[in-house]
Structure 1
């Protein structure tokens, strides 16, 4: 039976290559792919990710080849992303403690989560696609966290790219509040490669300036004294496999991340890059 991969995308803009890279690896293997967004809106690529002439300010060069730009544009024009699953409709929202009848509500919440976990048994892996959009609607999205926790409990791999890696740092069991990447080796967007200005999103006329938080610092803290963040500054690629997590620093790591996912699923890879 073909393996089934869940792709999570922001509704505020994903980076084209960060979807194209892992998706190409899955397509080559004949995997079934399912796309999901926070509220079921169609995901849209960030315009700079479709422009080979766009010069990334921190790197001082283009980060998108004409071939990848064309592939990302073709994917956007296709119907594959037209009807994503709504995570809001799929995963329950945790009730406030102040709500009337909280005990019954939280019991119902956990029952519904058990049903979601049962549905997720048909999936073999999850991919959280990067870009600036995840800063807005994925990083601190409790429903996304519950999906990640369900995959972790089922011992199934989770790929996270760029600013999507923040989802792993913030996904925590409500009992102990410890990050699920505590003690793990991860990579993610490093401080040297962050914009000083120009962080933008799809669908809103807003220049945030620099990213609202330095992901590197969050990952360094979340991995704790027995784990480690790897920035690999100066290295063209940075992908870390510390099962069940596969993390990718940024755009140039997208195809390698897809390759490593396939190796995890097909060859039992459990460690890479550290």
Structure 2
């Protein structure tokens, strides 16, 4: 493992183009997925990750010096990267895939690891010290990429973060959302952090920053450029709507209620 006392921190932010949170999901005509011919935007949890990286630099500009956004997706995913750049990222990497392809979380984790091993920046000499990503994507709700990436790299991880603090010594303090309360953990850079809803409220990109983002560099790569294989391991057999709820009924007494419960085999 690399030394854990960096003088400069390079942050990598994986972001995903997903169906917009305001869109009502519909089953696709083939019954094997959902209709993707609808409005897309950046996964909301990834927006929180971008915002947190920008805030870290605003708080400690001499510590956090570089923020790189990374996405895996079709050509239209470039718009997601432009949003990240407009919010404050310095550069972006786009690993392109066909329009209808599905990239599973384990393949995403391997791709992120490959980029980290290769390095970022103009010369690819900058080593990533911190990865911040959403705890889950709202389209598949897998919530597994961050943990798998930490395991592949052998790095510490702070998941479901509602507060993140980084010290100049390389100490990372994460307050985690857990069932029934909060948990505070501490680790060392390099580290993986996944974001929860209460970490921050993402900013809206200003018009000047949107215009500047158009001039920022996006490095475009194909999976074969990195020796990556995105062939799915799983096959979706069918997707269907949940069963319609059946209306309830009223009873006139407790005895009648008990009788109905007994007849239904509940008691």
TM-score computed with the length of structure 1 as normaliser: 0.34
Higher strand fraction (1 or 2): 2
From the two aligned structures, give the one with the greater helix fraction.
Answer: 1
